[in-house]
Structure formats: C-alpha cells, structure tokens
Chains A and B, each alone.
Chain A
Amino acid sequence: MAYSEKVIDHYENPRNVGSFDKNDPTIATGMVGAPACGDVMKLQLKINESGIIEDAKFKTYGCGSAIASSSLVTEWVKGKSIEEAQKLSNTLIAEELALPPVKIHCSILAEDAIKAAIEDYKSKK
C-alpha cells in the first residue's frame, strides 16, 4: 500500500517518541489498542495547573499509519487546553495524513488515546 508523504515523514522522523513517568501527578497516560490489527499505543500528556498541555510523548507499536497518527497528535496537542484537545477528531487526523479507508482505525486509535489520557488526568485530580 502506498503511504502518503506526510505518513512517511512522521514514520521516518517520529516526533516526541518516549515516555514520561506515569506516576508523576502532572502526567496523564492514555493506553489504547486496536483489536482489528493488534496495534498498541501509549500517549502521555504533561498538563500544567491551568489545564494546558505543555508537552506530549508517545510510544506506538504498529503500522506506519498508527505511528504517524500518534506522532501528529503529539504535535497538535502541545499548547492546547484539555477542552481543545478533546475536540481533536479522527477525521482531522485522517485528512491531514491522507489515510486510506483501511487505515482509518489508526486515526481512531490516536483520537481515543487523547480521550483516554484526559480521562486519566481527570481521575488523578
């Protein structure tokens, strides 16, 4: 399958790969998995007292589209408030990366990773 240039760019030069300490109270962790393909994604957000996402890191075991989707999301959420980040939809991700229909679930995975991280943040407060 042909990947778009943007997917290849994120895949070859993934942004913000890595982990924060999940026990740090300012760190929110979202773990999600796609049962259709077995991809696993971890997204971590560093959120300050005013609810602004200061930093983001990800670790994804999956195909190029899944890695690109999570890499893109870490760039997008930085500097955003939780409310703004929550509105990021998979369609925006899929459009930006020109994902083909069979890879839409990768963008859903990234959207759900943000939601899972925000849930974790709220449960930690």
Chain B
Amino acid sequence: MRFFDLFELPVSFQIDNDLLLERYREIQKKVHPDNHANASENEKLLSVQRAAEVNDAYETLKKPLNRAEYMVSEHGFDVRHEQHTIRDGMFLMQQMELREELEEIESASDVEAAFDRFYADIKKLMDEFTEKFESEFKQASYESAADAVRKLRFIYKLKDEAQQLEEKLLDF
C-alpha cells in the first residue's frame, strides 16, 4: 500500500482528510521542482516526476471511490480498467429503475423535495455497499470487496448525474 505509506497513514478506508492534506503539503514542499533549481537536469526531471506521483497518490486517497478502487487494486482487482461486465440482475434492475426515476424527477410537484428523497435513497445504497466493502476488505475477502467497489461505481455515477440534473433544473 505505497500511497498510504507515502503519507504515513494506516491502510484503511476511514481516512483523516485533514491529516492527509497536511502530509501532502509537507511532502509537496520537499519535492517541488522549484526547490531544486540548482540541481542537475537529471535531478530536476526526477523531482518533477516525484511531484506528479505525490499528486496522483493524494488525488487517489482523497476521494472515497478512488481510495476504495486503489485498495482492491493493490490486491489484484483492477476494477477501474477491467473490461468484463457484471450481471447481478437484481442490482442492475434497481440501478435502471433509479435512473428512470431520475429522468422523471422534472415533473415532480416539488422538484427540490423529490431530489432530497432521491439523494436519501442513493446515500442508503452508498452506505450499504461502503460498509460491505470495508468489512470484506478487513476480512481479506478481496474478491467480495472488489464486487462492492464495482457496485459503488454505479452508485457514485448516479449521484453525479443527479447533481448535474439538479444544477440544470434548479439553476444554481
């Protein structure tokens, strides 16, 4: 778990975001290419590379879905780049229905309240699969943990889409 080691954080989905940011800034200061202005070309290049790596590690750990994907990827499940499909009929049917519900949200009598209800439903699902991921991961059941992460991808995407629609409809 290189990324967790880099920031000297325990390998865990529960992360102290303030501490992560603090450690990130400390490291970034050290590796920043400007601090190596008098270094050789080779060393400068290395510091640029290093700074990019640190950025990547920070961005990965900062966002919950990216963090979960990273954690299972370190155990051989590269869910982000895998080409195969999932066929969990019950889960997919529910995802399809939620997307249909979102399509019709515009015609709700109280659109704002409809969005609140919708977000509450998504949050419930998100919590359910996040808990599943965490408990499977702790038990070293990485295949099942990866399956929960795959499902989280659909749920996060739905949330993004709901937010985009909400901005459009309620004209933020």
Chain A interfacial positions (CB closer than 8 Å to B): 31-38, 40, 42, 59, 61, 104-105, 108-109, 112, 116
Contacts and interface: CB of A to CB of B under 8 A. Distances in A.
A31 B89 contact: yes
Contact of A33 (B80, B83, B86): B86
A1 to B, nearest CB: 17
A109 B158 CA distance: 18
Given A105-B83, A109-B85, A116-B87, A35 B150 contact: yes
Q: For A34, A42, A109, A116, which residue has the most chain B Cβ atoms within 10 angstroms?
A: A34
Contacts of A109: 85
A86 to B, nearest CB: 16
Contacts of B99: 40, 61
Interface size class of B (residues with CB under 8 A): 20 to 34
B92 interface: yes
A33 B85 contact: yes
Contacts of A31: 87, 89, 92-93, 96
B81 A36 contact: yes
12 contacts: A31-B92, A31-B93, A32-B87, A33-B91, A35-B86, A36-B79, A38-B153, A38-B157, A108-B83, A108-B84, A109-B85, A112-B87
Given A40-B154, A116-B87, A35 B82 contact: yes
